[in-house]
Structure 1
């Protein structure tokens, strides 16, 4: 009898060892962006995040450290906070990160570098009457709930140009966003679902004919939702560019780039010197 129990005991011990050595898994970061020329405390939510050893990222010239002064930081399995400090010239865009612990390395997650200040979705903005007021310009980090809407309120002067962009699929979110701009009576002024050049994400530009309150309504096109149906809603007065043209430049030359997109006419052509030693064959470009 003792001999017949031995294989079962060995198998149980092996399974227990594997379960206790699960690698970290990151679900999402909050906020969804870090700011150039500043320090941002980035909270990573997920599982098996305790005792982190490093945070890898391709953010340019970033200083990354476990955020100090937070009680229990680095000891919790479901979240950890890192402080990310970027140079002022860090280009706006989408970057990647992975978390390492003594038990392995996490899945790859995406985050933005964004020069817009971040606010959080307050969770109570489910109707026009309870729309969350926003200061123009800004960016909102939120998550869509199933069979629901998120509403935001903007107060702008006459003639104000309003650029609206939802970044979701480009950050690996499950959300397929659709956004509408409404007047105070709930009439639709602008609408965007899938947009050329950015896949399932959406964006538009609108110029307010009169001063007053305007509302943004955001939801998943399929009315789905969860904590992983996350979005970054960007609002301001900025050009919306899908892609540069041409898409490539020969090393050692200075091609003139133009832009394509909903408001690319506001972006003047730019000559870029392409060095011979471009790392990974990609050259980030940011216009001041």
Structure 2
């Protein structure tokens, strides 16, 4: 039975909460908030009503849809293991990836999942699109696809999915997988075959797409061809996939990769044919978020580009006229004032970008590079040395093995040093227009990292780290009953396996407080004591608390021995892949705690 629904616009982040007329489940109220494992299909077309199924646990009365896009919604019903909606996104929804949740009738809100809204039809793959007989693929079993479209695949483990496409001579097709960027687990491999099954091209691990794939192929003969997809030994609840097929232009790279909050940018965009254009954008002013997304509406083969924001002055490496010169023509090192964020690019294979900064003996300097999670091909390697003393002071490759290949380091300036050289290069010696970066140079010293929730480590226990239904970015608050919300700190690298970055070594007290707390809600400040790694915030909601979901920000403040104050925003890196997918890149990072009042 379909229940009627209404849409309530509540905030810039949680733009739509859909409340449906459903009976309360007393059992669900006792069990706790709902949890979502997976959503199928993981993409829907804007302006088109599409059935959606959310699978997980405690979903018997999860009759509310909470999303970051406006939509018409109807609830179709639920069981303890699934809840079903019909979703029709607004026709003017910007194509891209959106955070979604479900909420029970009593108010409990679920963990986060992703849904893509697209402007092309979404075709559900058949349960089986190919068969093996005597070790050979049966091409007559391939599912025919009318493109342009997005194919929404079912769970893919050791299966091979096969699709038949019709093409003309000279036809160009772009085929892109969208899996890891949506929190889906497949590690896809793509083959394109002709009508006789002969391989035309193949791709695995396309640079810049974070383990997704892209084929760009022009056909020399008309007729049918076959698109084959397989996952590289990965399975699990989230093992669905999306496959975008069409003659789509796409973006290879952008420059710069971000800017200062409130800054007006002219962002250069390189398309699939190597043509540059520009997009005007203003960096969001939200002081708590340091990532935003650049819509690429003229490039339907690309998702919105992840960009960075910061508070420091920004410098363009190209202002030194170094770009385009050979290594022998480049200035020896570009002098820059700091603290600063440098926007640059490793333009040539074998190139290293070098910067000269003035320092004082005893200063602590921290240098951090952002590239990988901003779509760059760069696998950076960072060095700092005293040119006069011919001495290497510090070096770093990865901040975390496999989890973050961007380098970062901190060092203390030696007694006789007044100037150092900072050099960034690619570990493999690669370079080109697709190797941009942002490098931030600032005051260093003992520091800490704050987690929302319990510490994140690669364990499979529920509510810890890479678990597939990590609810640590949510807080469900019963009216009139004080609850405790944990906040954790990394003081030493050994608390987070494989971490090798500079944000560590502060051992003093850390003062915790919550910001943006609405009327009717109290979150008491507290302190993480000297040497301790956890504390709990006491949270209390009254009858005056808002009934729509809201967000709060948790910050930690501390004072170093030299009197400088450290302020860090508690965050959570959501590893939405299944529990076995340890040591892989995170899918989403949140810096705001999503709260819901439970009646």
Q: TM-score, normalised by structure 2?
A: 0.40
Residue 212 of structure 2 is matched in structure 1 by 201
Residue 154 of structure 2 is matched in structure 1 by 143
Work out the number of aligned pairs and report it: 262
Residue 92 of structure 1 is matched in structure 2 by 95
Of the structure 1 ranges 144-153 and 211-220, higher mean CA displacement relative to structure 2 is found in 144-153
Larger RCO, structure (CA 8 Å, separation 6 or more): 1
Q: 1:51 aligns with which of 58, 61, 66?
A: 61
Rounded Cα–Cα distance in structure 2 between residues aligned with 1:230 and 1:283: 24
Kindly name which structure, 1 or 2, has the bigger radius of gyration based on alpha carbons. 2
- Give 5+ residue unaligned stretches, structure 1: 1-16
Q: 2:274 aligns with which of 249, 259, 265?
A: 265
Q: Deviations over 1:224-276 (max 9, x none)?
A: 43453110011001123254221114455543222357x2635x512314177
Rounded Cα–Cα distance in structure 2 between residues aligned with 1:172 and 1:283: 17
- Give 5+ residue unaligned stretches, structure 2: 1-26, 131-137, 299-599
Residue 154 of structure 1 is matched in structure 2 by 165
Q: 1:24 to 1:136 in 2, by over 3 A?
A: same
Rounded Cα–Cα distance in structure 1 between residues aligned with 2:284 and 2:96: 23
Of the structure 1 ranges 275-284 and 192-201, higher mean CA displacement relative to structure 2 is found in 275-284
More strand by share: 2
Of the structure 1 ranges 163-172 and 224-233, higher mean CA displacement relative to structure 2 is found in 224-233
Counting only pairs closer than 5 Å after superposition, residues 30-179 of structure 1 correspond to structure 2 as 30-59=40-69, 62-67=70-75, 70=76, 73=77, 75-101=78-104, 102=106, 104-126=108-130, 127-179=138-190
Q: TM-score, normalised by structure 1?
A: 0.80
More helix by share: 1
Q: Is the 8 A contact 1:177 1:220 kept in 2?
A: yes
Q: 1:156 to 1:229 in 2, by over 3 A?
A: same
Rounded Cα–Cα distance in structure 1 between residues aligned with 2:28 and 2:87: 32
Rounded Cα–Cα distance in structure 1 between residues aligned with 2:194 and 2:65: 44
Q: 1:276 to 1:136 in 2, by over 3 A?
A: closer
Residue 12 of structure 1 is matched in structure 2 by none
Q: Deviations over 1:39-93 (max 9, x none)?
A: 433222222212125322223xx135333xx4xx1x4222222333333332222
Q: Is the 8 A contact 1:33 1:113 kept in 2?
A: yes
The runs of at least 4 consecutive aligned structure 1 residues that moved more than 6 Å come to none
1:256 has 2:266 as partner = yes
Rounded Cα–Cα distance in structure 2 between residues aligned with 1:286 and 1:90: 13
Which secondary structure state, in structure 2, belongs to the residue aligned with residue 129 of structure 1?
A: helix
Of the structure 1 ranges 153-162 and 143-152, higher mean CA displacement relative to structure 2 is found in 143-152
Which secondary structure state, in structure 1, belongs to the residue aligned with residue 274 of structure 2?
A: helix
Q: Is the 8 A contact 2:266 2:278 kept in 1?
A: yes
Rounded Cα–Cα distance in structure 2 between residues aligned with 1:217 and 1:30: 21
Structure 1 residue 118: Cα displacement? 0.9
